[in-house]
Amino acid sequence: MESVKLAVIFYSMGGTNYQLSKWAEEGGKEAGAEVKVFKVPELAPQSAIEGNPAWKATVEATKDVPEIKPDDLEWADAIIFSVPTRFGNMPSQMKQFLDTTGGLWAKGKLANKVVSAMTSAQNPHGGQEATILSLYTTMYHWGAIVAAPGYTDPVLFGAGGNPYGTSVTVDQDGKMIEDVKEAVKHQAKRTVTVAEWVKKGNQ
C-alpha cells in the first residue's frame, strides 16, 4: 500500500500554529506518511501586519510555505488543521478557504478524508475547545472522519488534556505555556494510522 498523504494546513499570526504544524509534520513523517505543509491565504491588510512585529516576523518566516489550494485537499488522505481561536471560532482566513471547497464537496471528493485539528489561545478557557469543534462542524458536512486524540496516550494529560485536539495557551510574550510537542506528534501519528485503516479498507 502506498503511503498515506497528509496535508497539514495552518493559519498563524504569532508563529504558534506554524510551530504546531511543523511538529505535526514531524509526527506524520515518523508514522510513514508523505507530508505537505500549507498555509491559508492572509486576508488582513498589509498595514495591520506591518504594525505588529510578531505578525510581520511570522509572515516572513512562512513566506516559502505554499498556500493551500482545493486540489491539495483532493491529493490528501488525511488533513490536520492548526488555527488560533477567534472568539471561540476559527479565524476568518481559515473559514474563507473552507468556503471555497464547495466544488470538491459537491463531487464527493472530500468524503472519507481523515481529519484532526489543533488550536491556541491566550487563556486556557479562551475558546480552545469551541474553536476545534467549529472546524469539525465543516468536516461533518464534508463527510470526513474526525480522528480526535481523545485520551489515547498519557502524553495528552501533560499537554492540558484536550480530547478534541491539541491546544496550547500562549502568554503575552508569545511563549507556549504547556509542553505540547509530543501531544502534537501523537495526534499526527494517530491521524495517519486511522487514515491507513481507511485506505486499506478502500482497497
- Distant-in-sequence, close-in-space partners of 145: CB < 8 Å, separation ≥ 6: 112, 113, 114, 115, 194, 198
What would the grid cell of residue 117 be?
485539528
What would the grid cell of residue 91 be?
479565524
Instruction: Report pLDDT for 124.
Output: 86
Distances (CA, A) of 149 to 81, 108, 117, 165: 13, 26, 9, 6
Greatest Cα pair distance in the chain: 52
Q: Could you identify the residue written with the cell 491507513?
A: 196
Instruction: Report pLDDT for 203.
Output: 61
Q: Residue 102 CB: number of other CB atoms within 10 A? A: 12
Delineate the domains of the chain, giving CATH numbers in brackets: 5-202 (3.40.50.360)
Tens digit of pLDDT at every position of the chain (203 positions)? 799 999 999 999 999 999 999 999 999 999 999 999 999 999 999 999 999 999 999 999 999 999 999 999 999 999 999 999 999 999 999 999 999 999 999 999 999 999 999 999 999 888 999 999 999 999 999 999 999 999 999 999 999 999 999 999 999 888 999 999 999 999 999 999 999 999 998 76
Helix (H/G/I), strand (E/B), else coil: 191 = helix
Question: How many whole angstroms separate alpha carbon 59 and alpha carbon 192?
Answer: 28
**Exposure on the CB side of residue 55, measured as CA atoms within 13 A:** 13
Question: How many whole angstroms separate alpha carbon 150 and alpha carbon 148?
Answer: 6
